[in-house]
Amino acid sequence: MNPETHLDGLRRQARDEPESGIVEIFNYGRNRDGIIPLWVGEGNLATPGFICDAARDSMLAGETFYTYQRGIPPLREALARYHERIHGRGFDPENFFVTQSGMQAIQLVIQAIAGNGDEVVMPSPAWPNYPAPLRLHGVGPVAVPMTMDEGRWHLDLDRLFDACTGRTRAIFINSPGNPTGWTASCEEILAIRDFARERGLWVVGDEVYSRFYYGPPRGSRMVAPSLHEICEPGERIIWIDTFSKNWAMTGWRIGWIIAPKELGQVLENLIQYNTSGVAQFMQRAGIVALEQGEAFVQEQVARARRSRDRVAAALSGSPRVSFALPQGAFYLFFRVEGETDTRAFAKRIVDEIAVGFAPGTAFGPGGEEFLRLCFARSQESLEAAMERFVPWLEK
Ligand SMILES: Cc1ncc(COP(=O)(O)O)c(C=O)c1O
């Protein structure tokens, strides 16, 4: 067989899916001398030692065998207690399903709710890892562009609802959002829930950044406005969550789904046929993160807030830059006047000043003219990046 025809033998959806626009720039610049990488969505802190110790101890104790598909019971219980603590209401361990990352949680949820010819509606700009896996499953992502004005990102709810058709299976809501930092208000969340309920649609809430919240204080609640606050029994809501961001565990690949109990057997089957579960020693580490990692989470959030303010102040030094101050997550999504091809612009920034931003083209409609920087990084690297970038812009 002619090897050149091998691609023709693939599924069209797999063959045609383009490379992630974030990874493209990452690969373009990762080996440059002195590069300051602000392109990927992770902090620079390693996982705290006490979490790593728990994984090591578990492994050495022989917890190296196949385990529960839904997650080990003590982790599901710890997850319920953690959510209880941060949301101030009760949770049942039976609603929790441990997955190999938030990304895999998204994959499993797509597999459970949508297939060929279906559509999923989502505000845009959005993390590219929603539309791509949807397309891979034959599902049409329907992007509803948000707009940035008066220093805020706005989601037009009428536009979001008008985009839902007879083919729509779900609305994906990522709040606080990657890449914009847009954070839905309680009223917006309620309106989306009511609309979805009326239409029998699923709401998939990606709340992986919920702890990284910089909006007005919310009493004893330690999180951004959340679908958990308005979820009633029987609601068609599924959550995506992860250990990656709160506890600096991006490389571990462990996350979770929260879903109605009735989905239990289906999700268990999907986990079985995708990965057959998450390593038990990682789950033990997850329990320790949830139960002993609160001070670490709070330090990270406080540090991210300070970094957000410093980066925002530095970027404000250029009359060419505009942005909305993010109310959550850890990205600053900014536009540079006169630069519309951000894919080429991001490469030029790598070439000329060795700073790595993600191009807005990666995030779909409404984001094309922006760049994204991750500010969950060290103070020194953010300062150095701004010292290179802001004066360079004025040249
Ligand atoms: C919005 C959003 N959801 C989910 C994830 C998944 O994180 P992970 O796969 O590391 O658990 C990410 C990671 O960047 C994200 O930005």
Best residue among 178, 183, 241 to mutate for probing ligand 1, ranked by most atoms within 8 Å of CB: 178
Together in a domain, 84 and 27: no
* pLDDT tens digit sequence for 71-92: 999 999 999 999 999 998 999 9
| Band (189; pLDDT cuts 50, 70, 90) | very high
Q: 117: exposed, middle or buried (C-beta count within 10 Å: 0-12, 13-18, 19+)?
A: exposed
Q: Would you list the DSSP string of 60-84?
A: HTT--S---SS--HHHHHHHHHHHH
SS3 41: coil
pLDDT for 92:
97
| Ligand 1 pocket residue status of 369, Cβ below 6 Å | no
Minimum CA distance residue for ligand 1 atom 13? 41
Residue 317 C-alpha to ligand 1 middle, in angstroms? 31
Number of domains in the chain: 2
Alpha-carbon span 272 to 108, nearest angstrom: 11
The answer to whether the beta carbons of residues 324 and 308 sit under 8 Å apart is: no
| Ligand 1 pocket residue status of 127, Cβ below 6 Å | yes
| Band (336; pLDDT cuts 50, 70, 90) | very high
Residue 253 C-alpha to ligand 1 middle, in angstroms? 10
Q: How many residues does the chain have?
A: 395
Alpha-carbon span 94 to 346, nearest angstrom: 45
CATH number at residue 364: 3.90.1150.10
| Band (150; pLDDT cuts 50, 70, 90) | confident
* Structural domain ending residue among the three candidates 293, 319, 334: 293
| Band (378; pLDDT cuts 50, 70, 90) | very high
| Ligand 1 pocket residue status of 20, Cβ below 6 Å | no
Residue 394 C-alpha to ligand 1 middle, in angstroms? 34
pLDDT for 4:
78
Together in a domain, 78 and 207: yes
Alpha-carbon span 61 to 76, nearest angstrom: 21
Residue 208 C-alpha to ligand 1 middle, in angstroms? 7
Return the structure tokens found at 244. Answer: 């990656």
Together in a domain, 39 and 98: no
- Choose among 306, 73, 104: nearest CA to 208: 104
Together in a domain, 190 and 83: yes
Dihedral sign from CA coordinates of 6, 8, 11, 13? positive
Among 117-131, 195-209, 215-229, 368-382, name the one with the lowest average pLDDT. 215-229
CATH number at residue 192: 3.40.640.10
Query: Structural domain of residue 341, as residue ranges?
Result: 3-47+295-393
Q: For residue 233, is pLDDT > 90?
A: no
Return the structure tokens found at 26. Answer: 């990452």
Together in a domain, 99 and 221: yes
| Ligand 1 pocket residue status of 206, Cβ below 6 Å | yes
* Structural domain ending residue among the three candidates 293, 320, 350: 293
Together in a domain, 127 and 232: yes
| Ligand 1 pocket residue status of 103, Cβ below 6 Å | yes
What is the residue-averaged pLDDT of the chain? 95
Q: For residue 316, is pLDDT > 80?
A: yes
Together in a domain, 268 and 302: no
Together in a domain, 146 and 167: yes
CA-based angle 308:238:268, to the nearest 5? 120
Together in a domain, 94 and 209: yes
Residue 102 C-alpha to ligand 1 middle, in angstroms? 5
The amino acid at 310: R
The answer to whether the beta carbons of residues 212 and 174 sit under 8 Å apart is: no
Alpha-carbon span 261 to 272, nearest angstrom: 17
| Band (50; pLDDT cuts 50, 70, 90) | very high
Q: For residue 209, is pLDDT > 90?
A: yes
Q: For residue 216, is pLDDT > 90?
A: no
Together in a domain, 194 and 278: yes
* Structural domain ending residue among the three candidates 293, 316, 345: 293
The answer to whether the beta carbons of residues 350 and 30 sit under 8 Å apart is: no
Alpha-carbon span 117 to 12, nearest angstrom: 14
Peptide bond into 365 cis (omega under 30): no
| Ligand 1 pocket residue status of 99, Cβ below 6 Å | no
Q: For residue 242, is pLDDT > 90?
A: yes
| Ligand 1 pocket residue status of 208, Cβ below 6 Å | yes
pLDDT for 244:
98
Strand 202-206 relative to strand 168-174: parallel, antiparallel, unpaired? parallel
Higher pLDDT, 391 or 394: 391
- Ligand 1 nearest atom to the CA of residue 206, by list position: 3
Residue 2 C-alpha to ligand 1 middle, in angstroms? 39
Return the structure tokens found at 157. Answer: 């709810």
Residue 339: CA atoms inside 13 Å, Cβ hemisphere, count? 22
Together in a domain, 111 and 144: yes
Together in a domain, 65 and 17: no
| Ligand 1 pocket residue status of 75, Cβ below 6 Å | no
Residue 247 C-alpha to ligand 1 middle, in angstroms? 13
Minimum CA distance residue for ligand 1 atom 4? 102
Alpha-carbon span 291 to 350, nearest angstrom: 41
